[in-house]
Amino acid sequence: NADAAMYHAKSSGRNNYKFYTADLNARAREILAIESQLRHAVDRHEFVLHYQPQVEMSSGNIIGAEALIRWNHPTLGLLGPLHFIDVAEERGYIVQIGNWVIREACRQIAEWHGKGLPLMTVGVNLSALQFRHQDLVGLLQDALAEYQLPGSCLDVEVTESVIMDDLESTVQTIRAIQAMGIRMSIDDFGTGYSSLAYLKRFKADKLKIDRSFVRDIPGDQDDTAITRAIINMSKNLNMQVVAEGVETVEQWQFLAQEGCHQVQGYLLSKPVSAEAVEPLLRQKCLLPRLE
Ligand code: C2E
Ligand code: MG
Ligand code: MG
Ligand code: MG
């Protein structure tokens, strides 16, 4: 596993030039391997989607799941997006990869539905290049049509930086996407360089409070104030609000008390394979054990 290898290289290389060089070499080799092999990874069927349940706080009902990409690398093992998404964006591969993500999510929803599960809503992350370099609306339409799914099965997650990248044309595209019944979420809310004015240009369905704000609630006063403000603003603007990265019962209790609608986080489930998430979807409800 590459994470373990990097960790090992780092922890054993403290203040030691030789190991430091070995560490850099290992990292450089990893980047080279990633750059050269990423181009073929879609054709070689090396990507997989993992799924993290999204839970309604008031009931514990699983109301959807976020699809998070993993790369089953031939030599480095299963890699998370932090190892390759930036490279994929720089090289433009993210367009092809992103198309695969949309189609694969639709295929999976149809498969689950075929096995008797209710129709799911799956969140897919979109990058700015997908808005700029292709007919995103047509692509979403085709993927839904191929698997005979309604738009309500998809929830597209974009960050504020994607929106601000080309505000005018992105707003047009988002409106067209929403007109198909697809939900639209603002990811990592509060962390991008943006003005809140974009919230008036289209109606986002959901705000996802970034994990960096959630991490230190309820102990940290600033994070507590920010999280509370985002929850209140979302409600006043008639948007759903989701807290990301919920890991503790204390965070859950604070968010419940503030009336946050939904949560996602290790407290309930890590992102897991489609096979592993299926029993959770069947069981429909997921609540933390409150002591
Ligand atoms: P994101 O969309 O904000 O996804 C949430 C990230 O937080 C995921 O990391 C998830 O595994 C992690 N997470 C969830 N709950 C917890 C928790 O309780 N504690 C902690 N420590 N982490 C938690 P992951 O899977 O490594 O993905 C990282 C980012 O990569 C995503 O952030 C998203 O921006 C990007 N990404 C993932 N899949 C795709 C994709 O298909 N396309 C594009 N363009 N980007 C993707
Ligand atoms: Mg996301
Ligand atoms: Mg996020
Ligand atoms: Mg993120």
Q: Quick: pLDDT tens for 217-271.
A: 999 999 999 999 999 999 999 999 999 999 999 999 999 999 999 999 999 999 9
Q: What is the pLDDT of residue 160?
A: 93
Distance 28 CA to ligand 3 centre (A): 28
Q: Which ligand is nearest to the CA of 68?
A: 1
Phi, psi torsion values for 167, nearest 5 degrees? -50, -50
Task: Check if 68 has its Cβ closer than 6 Å to any atom of ligand 1.
Answer: yes
Task: Check if 125 has its Cβ closer than 6 Å to any atom of ligand 1.
Answer: yes
Q: What is the pLDDT of residue 8?
A: 41
Q: What is the pTM of this model?
A: 0.92
Kindly list the protein residues that place their beta carbon closer than 5 angstroms to ligand 2, a single-atom ion.
125, 157, 187
Kindly list the protein residues that place their beta carbon closer than 5 angstroms to ligand 3, a single-atom ion.
187-188, 244
Distance CA 167, CA 170 (A): 5
**Per-position DSSP letters for 38-86, written without gaps between them:** HHHHTTTT-EEEEEEEEEETTT-BEEEEEEEEEEEETTTEEE-GGGTHH
ipTM more than 0.95?
Answer: yes
Q: Kindly state the tokens that stand for 275.
A: 């096979």
Contact 192, 164 (CB under 8 A): yes
Distance CA 235, CA 61 (A): 20
Q: Whose CA is nearest to atom 8 of ligand 1?
A: 68
Cis peptide leading into residue 218 (ω within 30°): yes
Distance 59 CA to ligand 1 centre (A): 24
Identify the segments of the chain with pLDDT beneath 50: 1-16
Atom of ligand 1 lying closest to residue 188 CA: 3
Q: What is the pLDDT of residue 115?
A: 97
Q: What is the pLDDT of residue 235?
A: 96
Task: Check if 266 has its Cβ closer than 6 Å to any atom of ligand 1.
Answer: yes
Q: What is the pLDDT of residue 6?
A: 43
Q: What is the pLDDT of residue 136?
A: 96
Task: Check if 247 has its Cβ closer than 6 Å to any atom of ligand 1.
Answer: yes
